[in-house]
Structure 1
């Protein structure tokens, strides 16, 4: 969690585009960037253990099964 209450930029969503945008904005050391992503904590064993890579893909706790 972040203690800071104000940021120069807030990027919603850390998908491919959001991550790139946040990264580029953060290249300027004089700016602050907040990158927000929805979802629960990433402390679950399925997320932390490399051998469990496939389990989160079929679990609706981690994969919300949105189609686009």
Structure 2
């Protein structure tokens, strides 16, 4: 039998940094870069799939006319 427990750590030691507002812009920029990188990786992975699978999941073909929606 497996038992899974979740223990909450001692939060009394956590204190927000007084410098947190200074790091928020840098943090959001890093998160945007990370999300863009992940999106491009996902698009590359989908483009590398065989055409039949891309068609089945509804991924647009790369040879479709640009004006067609």
TM score, norm. by length of structure 1: 0.21
Decide which structure has the larger Cα Rg and report it.
Answer: 2
TM-score (norm 2): 0.21
Which has the larger share of strand? 1
Q: Is the helix fraction higher in 1 or 2?
A: 2
